[in-house]
Amino acid sequence: MGKKDYWIVFLIFFPLFSCFSNQEILQARLNIDLPRFVIVDRLATDSKARTFRTGEIDSYVEQIPAGIEELAYTGKDLKRFVSILLAGADSDFSKAKRIHDWMTLRIAYDSNILIRLKTDKDPDGGVDAVSTLKYRRSNCEGLARTYALLCATAGLEARYVVGALNRAVNKSGNLSSHAWNLVRLEGAWYIVDCSANSRFFYVNGSFGTHMPYSMRFDHLFISPEAKILAYYAYDPADCLLSQDISVEDFKNAPKLTIGFAKYGLSLSQETLDMRQVLAIDKSSGGADLFDSYESTASRLELKIYTPADVFLTAGLFDSEGKALSGCGYAYRRGDYFVCEFDFPEADKLYGAKIYARSLADPFAVNEVYSFKASGKMAGVPSRTVEASFVSELLNVRIHRVERGEAVLRIYYSHPREIAVISFMRDSSDSYLRAKKLEFEYGSGFEYEIGAGDGLKIYLSGRLLDVGWTRGNQRIFVIDPLKIEEGSL
């Protein structure tokens, strides 16, 4: 098998690398009405790493007195600072995580440091470890060198890794550079990337606010198979893969994020066959790299294999980054999601994005794929039923839709713990009530649709448990005028 073939197999079958199968995920749903989903960590290198990837900061680092931290910032006594930082840490994993947690808490990412180093007599910062600690900010190089220094001071073996990102090339045509670390723990190497996990940023001379730790720990002990989706180490040994991948294969591979690994996603072969790489020149030199898809019709369809505990959504954007309402939609079909994009204008390049969420943590959404898309024909979005993630979360299913000349009936089922309501609005946004129906195997609603214009039917639901405080959540949106008389 050649290296190029290795990439294709990896992208198609990546979910098989997960420690959790669809059957295991669905096990909690058997013999009960309401689905129960659990958090699945698909990014961890192994079970040991998973133990320390809790999504919670080591609270000890938040309690270190400022005076002690000054020992690191000033360089007066780095060894004493590290000994206090790691007090009580009972394993090398605990030490490596605590150093990471302190750095992402106290050291900001400074995206303009390289420019200042080239243009300013006093750059007010640097990319070496001493400067990073002194100014409490740097770029990926400074953060990686600092992590290596702190690990060495703690007696941990850590390597400084130089590599590349998959989304841009410089003026020379080389991929944009990046730096991170490998740390040796209990005889094995693990990836730590403090830069990719930065919780706050230094912009225009000031420090920004911190993002929650739970949103910024993905690159702690991340698996090599996940890291390689978007990051490449120039020394093949530093990729930690069983089979080497050339920089050209990496450059030509799909422009995915690690979110594909985080949610166990993979592009179908049909989608891979449609993919092209598009380079868009930057005014500063070099180019941004995008995956690009072109449809011969007015609608583009991409298929993404998706585990049972994950829900996808899609969006289309104009050249200004404005979302185009209704032009992007995703729905499940068996073991994959179909992501649809409708193009308002023919032969025009649009931005497209796909988002993922775990049904165990449904209100946390991650962008997992950003690309360019176009169609040879213009079209208007036309969907009869649109389902939100709440349909999966609450296990509400539409079984039949019947339409007469002036009446529409929807039959659905839901768990006993769920309450479902429905209403209809017309083009003037007038509220029209629905009549509730009950039958042996479920429930239904009846609507008088007549010859109304711009009608939309909404089904929403909530848990009856008073502990659910979010109220009714939208489940389905139905366009009754697109349903022909008879049954759907």
- For 446-465, what is each residue's pLDDT tens digit? 998 876 678 899 999 988 87
Distance CA(28)–CA(359), nearest Å, equals: 13
Q: pLDDT tens digits for 267-305?
A: 999 999 999 999 999 998 999 999 999 999 999 999 999
222-256 tens-digit pLDDT = 999 999 999 999 999 999 999 999 999 999 999 99
Which residue, 262, 295, 326, sits at the end of a domain?
Answer: 262
Tell me the Ramachandran region of residue 347: left when phi exceeds 0, alpha when psi lies from -120 to 50, beta otherwise: left
Residue 380, domain member (yes or no): no
Question: In total, how many domains does the chain have?
Answer: 3
Same-domain status, 167 and 214? yes
- What is the average per-residue pLDDT within 204-219? 96
pLDDT computed for residue 438 by the predictor = 82
Tens of pLDDT, residues 85-126: 999 999 999 999 999 999 999 999 998 998 888 888 888 899
166 and 44, same domain (yes or no): yes
Per the CB < 8 A criterion, the answer to whether 291 and 371 are in contact is yes
Q: Residues 46-69: what's their mean pLDDT? A: 97
Task: Give a yes or no: residue 319 inside a domain.
Answer: yes
Final residue belonging to a domain, choices 375, 410, 442: 375
253 plus 305 within the same structural domain: no
471 band by pLDDT with thresholds 50, 70 and 90: confident
64 and 191 share a domain? yes
Strand partners, 220: 192
Q: What residues make up the domain containing 134?
A: 3-262
Whether 271 and 333 map to the same domain: the answer is yes
Confidence of residue 481 (pLDDT cuts 50, 70, 90): confident
pLDDT at 6: 36
Residue 325: CATH number of its domain: 2.60.40
| Domain identity same for 88 and 210 | yes
DSSP letter for each residue of 5-25: HHHHHHHHHGGGGSSS-HHHH
CA 337 vs CA 299, 354, 355: distances in Å: 15, 11, 12
The residue among 354, 375, 396 that closes a domain is 375
Residue 415, pLDDT > 60, answer: yes
Please check whether residues 251 and 298 belong to one and the same domain.
no
Q: Residue 436 has which token pair? A: 């509730």
Given this model, what pLDDT does residue 284 score? Answer: 85
Q: For 140-163, how does the pLDDT look when each residue is reduced to its tens digit (9 = 90+)?
A: 999 999 999 999 999 999 999 999
DSSP state, 323? B
